[in-house]
Amino acid sequence: MSLVSRISLKELAHKIGADLEGDPNKEVLGLNTLDSASTNEVSFIARKSFLSFLPSSKAGALICSNDLSEGYSGNKLIGEDPYLLYAKCTKVFKELTNKNLNLGISELAHIGNNVSISKKSSVANFVHISDGAILEDDVFIGPGVVVGENSVIGRGSKIYPNVTIYDSVEIGANCIIHSGTVIGSDGLGFAKHKGEWLKIEHLGKVIIGDNVEIGSNTSIDRGSVGDTLVEDNVKIDNLVHLAHNVKIGSGTAIAANSAVAGSSSIGKNCTLAGCCAVVDNIEVADEVHITAKSLITKSIREKGVYSSGTPFMKNDDWRKNAVSFKKLHKLITNK
């Protein structure tokens, strides 16, 4: 990895809150793995299983804890939680690459009527900003983004290429929304009459808090009546679907290919692993952790770890167990 901007280890240690052992004037320009890092890059170690890579690593500096740094003679950035230091370090280098991101408003962008765009924000080529939209300070809008009428994008948020933000969507400060995501589309709402589906118009909003990150190709539906709400510091992976009127509590993280059906509520500081599904109109308490490929069909009232489904096995064994499962009720009740 190569970055144009460099930073001294002294400054880097200060920014990430690490203790520095080594040359404070040494300059580095990026991050890399232990086995691939050059003398101008920083690497990190958080597990003893990677100790064997240390003798051959050419890294210009190593993020580590005290116990993992023993025997390493190079420059070290030391802290109790090296993985946290690594996360902070990625932010520093990301900011270095984006420090000249302010490109102004492209002549190839369409800007509607009564739009408010901060002079500190950037709007790239082929962006469509609809009437009444507001872009606060330091917002970045990538190529091909559509921002609907009366939508608001908060300070410091970054909207990457080809994101679609429908009308009346509110996005907080310092959010990141990755390419291909759609926010504010209608959910699945229909009433059946004489064999025909009658569409229920969705009149609510999507409201997204501060410091939210949303992965690529995710879809968040607007509320039908009332709003869909994603609170502060929520992290959503790629290919996630949140249906109409869903509420996601602050600090919750949702991994890829998961879906939450309409009007369900997920509490604060929860995690949903990959490929989880939550049915409609249920509530999940705070600090609930749901393991991969689980299906949640009832409300969860107490914090803890929850799972469903069966572990993988050889197909022949699975077929035999599936037959037994079908007979389970008869075996228990003798009926």
β-bridge partners, 248: 230, 266
* Joined tokens for residue 17: 């809150």
Say how far apart CA 104 and CA 70 lie, in whole Å: 49
126 conformational bin, left if phi > 0, alpha if psi -120 to 50, beta if neither: left
Q: Is 289 among the catalytic positions?
A: no
Exactly one of 178, 202, 241, 244 is catalytic; name it: 244
Q: How many angstroms separate the Cα of 33 from the Cα of each of 18, 59, 61, 86, 90?
A: 19, 8, 11, 11, 13
Nearest C-alpha neighbor of 173 from the set 147, 155, 159: 155
Q: How many angstroms separate the Cα of 96 from the Cα of each of 7, 102, 109, 200?
A: 9, 13, 26, 47
Spatial contact of 76 and 56, defined as CB atoms under 8 Å apart: no
Say how far apart CA 143 and CA 286 lie, in whole Å: 38
Residue 73, SS3 per DSSP: coil
Nearest C-alpha neighbor of 265 from the set 299, 219, 308: 299
Say how far apart CA 189 and CA 12 lie, in whole Å: 51
Say how far apart CA 93 and CA 31 lie, in whole Å: 8
* Joined tokens for residue 314: 């050889």
Spatial contact of 302 and 320, defined as CB atoms under 8 Å apart: no
Say how far apart CA 5 and CA 16 lie, in whole Å: 17
Catalytic residues: 244
